Amino acid sequence: SRSDPNLETFSQPARPQPYYAKHPPARDLPKATKAWPYLLLAGVLGVAGWTAFMNYITNQEMISSSVMRQLMRCVREDPQLREALGEAIRPQPEWWLNGDPKITGRISTLQGNIDISLRIRGTKGSGTLYFTSIRKEKGVPFTILRFKVICDDGSVVLIN
């Protein structure tokens, strides 16, 4: 046997009351954060990333240039340098360039100047290759001003 539910009736609708009167806030609202530090950080990271990217691309372009291929051919064939650095002379890889060498300087064949340096290594030792060449005017061959390797032991090898 079922019992009837209790029915409660009201004479009028409930009077609306303000919400905050029942539940006062326990604490103040948090302060709004400023956006400019985050924008500044994003800007600095963006510029740093773009600079790193441009340096990497410029280095890759110099590595794959015909000037670099010719320099490495001359370096590998030089008997004095083979005596100083050993066999298998190659550019020294850098871990932060994913195994590629770091070439400093500038290769600008259209403007007629090349001035680069890079680390090289062989089976006996390593050193720094310096190469500078200019072209006085269009149509004239480049003039080599400096083509040498300074080995880590201090010896200097001039390359012909």
Domain ranges of the chain: 36-158
Q: Which long-range contacts (CB under 8 A, 24 or more apart) does 73-82 make?
A: 74/147, 74/159, 75/120, 75/129, 75/149, 75/159, 78/157, 78/159, 78/160, 80/157, 80/158, 80/159, 81/122, 81/149, 81/157, 81/159, 82/122
113-131: pLDDT as tens digits: 999 999 999 999 999 999 9
pLDDT over threshold 60, residue 60: yes
Asked if pLDDT for residue 20 goes beyond 70, the answer is no
pLDDT for 138 beyond 60: yes
Residues of the chain with pLDDT > 90, as a percent, come to 74
DSSP 8-41: ---SSPPPP--HHHHS--SSPPPPPPPSHHHHHH
pLDDT (tens digit per residue) in 87-108: 999 999 999 888 999 999 999 9
CATH 3.30.70 fits 36-158, yes or no: no
